[in-house]
């Protein structure tokens, strides 16, 4: 929900060394005209680093102390996935707008609580789906919107390899949500954006545990999504895939897109011209993750559209949760938010 030309003061919850995400969020905020004001983390060494990175930054060891900082009016939540919902609700009740790292949460019930709290307290809730600003996605989306491949009827997307998933919390299903909740959340967001405006009618999930029994995440996951027009999308995420797969294979009525590493910094376009199939190498656009916070600042101060609405992020969680249920019961299900 937009405000009128307020002075934006940003904070982050979570400032660990993992990908330096806390530092990056504050840098993106600063570039967007949002003043980096505070950081919260349970580890004092992380807070000391935050003060070194940002002179004058206030630091807090627990969320409740940050809530009392009346100057802070925008907070990015960069914590394990299963903590997002409770923290976001607390922030909303304290009157602070919220950015949650992806995935938004683990369940639709959590997403509903977060959205209800934001609406009740008149604050903005958004999710940092920064990869909507990735150069390959932007170039593919432009190619699709220009009609160069016609109407999409099938999408295949995949990432992963054959490797141990690691011993950190992202490999713990109770905390992370499972194998589909990391890169899978990005890919599902891309898929739903490529198929913008199409309702999901059916989700089929296949989640398998085969090799890495010392961790609780699944080793291999596949989701098949059916849209209202009969088109489909298939997403695979795996840590036991010994044979490579293309990152993207998108088929349309007039051509297609293939991203398999054969085009440096780009992808192959196939398009029908005068009854023949022509090919072209399409270069990626620049990746501009910092544009997310610039767009969010414009939303908060000027009433422009949110860069990522909570409802669009909830839709991703609905598909992932439906895939979980489908895999468990052995049949397709309809997502709660299509």
SS3 226: strand
Q: 165-171, long-range: CB within 8 Å, 24+ apart, which pairs?
A: 165/212, 165/215, 165/217, 165/219, 165/239, 166/215, 167/214, 167/215, 168/18, 169/80, 170/217, 171/212, 171/215, 171/216, 171/217
Rounded CA separation 204/226 (Å): 9
Predicted confidence at residue 147, as pLDDT, reads: 97
CATH number of 132-287: 3.30.360.10
| pLDDT for 2 beyond 50 | no
Q: What is the mean pLDDT of residues 145-168?
A: 97
Rounded CA separation 59/57 (Å): 6
- Residues 179-236: pLDDT tens digits? 999 999 999 999 999 999 999 999 999 999 999 999 999 999 999 999 999 999 999 9
| pLDDT for 6 beyond 90 | no
- Whether 300 contacts 124, CB under 8 Å: yes
Rounded CA separation 194/141 (Å): 6
Superfamily of domain 9-128+290-307: NAD(P)-binding Rossmann-like Domain (3.40.50.720)
**How do the domains of the chain map onto residue ranges?**
9-128+290-307, 132-287
CA nearest neighbour of 9 among 59, 66, 73: 73
- Residues 40-84: pLDDT tens digits? 999 999 999 999 999 999 999 999 999 999 999 999 999 999 999
């Amino acid at each position: 929900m937009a405000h009128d030309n307020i002075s934006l003061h940003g904070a982050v919850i979570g400032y660990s060394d993992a990908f330096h995400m806390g530092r990056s969020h504050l840098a993106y905020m600063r570039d967007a005209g949002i003043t980096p004001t505070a950081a919260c983390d349970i580890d004092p060494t992380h807070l000391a680093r935050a003060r070194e990175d940002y002179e004058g930054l206030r630091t807090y060891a627990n969320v409740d102390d940050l809530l009392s900082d009346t100057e802070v009016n925008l907070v990015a939540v960069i914590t394990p996935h299963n903590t997002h919902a409770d923290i976001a609700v607390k922030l909303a009740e304290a009157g602070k707008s919220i950015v949650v790292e992806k995935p938004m949460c683990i369940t639709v019930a959590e997403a509903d609580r977060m959205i209800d709290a934001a609406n009740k307290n008149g604050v903005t809730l958004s999710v940092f789906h920064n990869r909507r600003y990735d150069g390959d996605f932007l170039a593919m989306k432009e190619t699709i919107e220009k009609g160069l491949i016609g109407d999409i009827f099938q999408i295949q997307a995949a990432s992963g390899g054959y490797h141990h998933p690691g011993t950190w919390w992202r490999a713990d299903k109770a905390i992370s949500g499972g194998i589909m909740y990391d890169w899978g959340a990005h890919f599902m967001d891309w898929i739903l954006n490529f198929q913008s405006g199409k309702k999901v009618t059916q989700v089929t999930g296949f989640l398998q545990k085969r090799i890495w029994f010392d961790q609780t995440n699944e080793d291999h996951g596949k989701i098949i999504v059916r849209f209202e027009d009969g088109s489909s999308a298939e997403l695979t995420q795996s840590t036991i895939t010994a044979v490579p797969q293309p990152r993207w294979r998108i088929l349309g009525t007039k051509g297609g897109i293939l991203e398999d590493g054969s085009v440096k910094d780009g992808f192959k376009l196939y398009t029908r011209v005068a009854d023949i199939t022509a090919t072209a190498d399409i270069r990626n656009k620049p990746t501009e993750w910092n544009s997310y916070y610039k767009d969010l600042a414009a939303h908060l101060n000027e009433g422009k559209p949110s860069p990522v609405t909570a409802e669009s992020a909830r839709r991703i969680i609905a598909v992932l949760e439906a895939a979980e249920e489908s895999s468990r019961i052995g049949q397709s299900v309809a997502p709660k938010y299509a």
